[in-house]
Amino acid sequence: MEDVNLIARHWHHLPIDEVAVLLESDRERGLDRFAVEHRLEAFGPNAITAQKGQGPLIRFLLQFHQPLIYILIASGLITAFLGEWVDSGVIFGVVLVNAVIGYLQEAKAVNALAALARTMTTEATVLRQGEKRRIPATELVPGDIVFLQSGDKVPADLRLFQVRDLQVAEAALTGESAPVVKDHGLHGRDTVLADRRNMAYASTLVTYGQGRGIVTATGDATEVGRISQLISTAEALATPLTRKISEFSNVLLYVILGLASLTIMIGLLRGQTFVEIFMAAVALAVGAIPEGLPAAVTITLAIGVSRMAQKRAIIRKLPAVETLGSTTVICTDKTGTLTENQMTVQEIVAGGLAYAVTGTGYNPTQGRIEAPEAVSGSTSPALLECLRAGGSGRCMAIPPRGRC
């Protein structure tokens, strides 16, 4: 069997007999023990590879990775160098409390997510060596024959070959809230995933009926596995609060350095010794730093996270709770899927002619009507009427190059 090339197959486009031949499987008897062992070694368990997280030490050290904390640490070191042990101890105490609170909250969220993942184990009913068996879903391999019935969670990507009023809820994968009626017929090679009715995908839920299918992909090779890999490569975005704190820290740093420099210059002009005026400038800089701000922000966010936890919402990063509070509008489509709420015309067919339209989103200056020759109201009256109807009177004439 072609271990790696299986992923690239268009299973929805192939007859089921050809699928069985390619997967070296028997629809009447399933796989034997030796084939299962070999494929487990080749493909690995039917589980999405967990992304390697940061260790406890790294997570704790990252709590200090904030511009304001850098300023506090620097001021604490300077005050300690000057012998101001009480002030230095207070500053380092605030920094430590801030880091401990943030670390404990993140560790609590990580442990909760890990416990949730351990409880989400599923089983699958398969046909092996002619016998119907119930096994952990992690032991499935490509070529296994899987039985589906109402209430089952689809354990892997399947090419269906027998259905009986089978309906599957695929909202977790496609966003479509209504269950999809499945069949076992052939579909075109370019059929989009949401319309492949002869396929059942991992993580979706059987809501009605029964069916059988042959496993075509497991673990990271499944469609939901591909989504997991894409998510793992997403960049971490700064929240509104972290951006504001970062901006405030930068401004504060420049102001403090400017005042300290100004103090030193004035002192030198007045004839004071450099050591004396330098200590005065350092004292001014330390006094200008709001030592209690990080602790106050962290405690406030921790209270918000605690209240969200009472509503059964797990928040890993403290600043995320502020992001939720800053949200004023959530755009969704009819299925409840999050969306940017942007729809853009891509093509206009009017008067028997097709016009391509460029541009996306809300920007009104990006839209252009592409035509082989100049477009005007006299040469394209049907297009003009179409634009009038679509623009509700706001586009009463066709400007040069079709911009509207």
Closest listed residue to residue 216, CA positions, set 79, 38, 25, 86: 25
DSSP assignments along 297-323, one per residue: HHHHHHHHHHHHHHTT---SSHHHHHH
Which of 195, 210, 229 delimits the end of a domain? 229
Predicted confidence (pLDDT) per residue in 225-269, tens digit: 888 777 766 666 677 777 887 788 788 888 888 888 898 899 888
Residue 404 has a pLDDT of 42
- In the set 3, 32, 195, 333, the catalytic residue is 333
Residue 402 has a pLDDT of 42
Tell me: do 33 and 167 sit in the same domain.
Answer: yes
> How many domains is the chain built from?
3
DSSP assignments along 164-192, one per residue: EEEEEE-HHHH---SPEEP--S---TT--
CA distance 278 to 256: 13
Q: What is the pTM of this model?
A: 0.59
Tell me: do 144 and 225 sit in the same domain.
Answer: yes
Residue 234 has a pLDDT of 62
Residue-level length of the chain: 404
Residue 396 has a pLDDT of 42
Q: Is the torsion defined by CA of 56, 230, 220, 206 positive or negative?
A: positive
Tell me: do 306 and 366 sit in the same domain.
Answer: no
Residue 183 among the catalytic residues: no
CATH number reported for the structural domain that contains residue 201 in this entry: 2.70.150.10
- Print the domain residue range for 320: 301-326
Of 120-134, 280-294, 362-376, where does mean pLDDT reach its minimum?
A: 362-376
Is 39 a member of any domain? yes
Predicted confidence (pLDDT) per residue in 139-173, tens digit: 999 999 999 999 899 999 999 999 999 999 988 78
For residue 21, give the H/E element and its range: helix 16-22
SS3 content of the chain, % helix, strand, coil (to 5): 50, 15, 35
Is 284 a member of any domain? no
The model's confidence at residue 189, banded by pLDDT at 50, 70 and 90, is confident
Between 208 and 252, the higher pLDDT residue: 208
CA distance 201 to 180: 12
Tell me: do 186 and 225 sit in the same domain.
Answer: yes
CA distance 122 to 242: 39
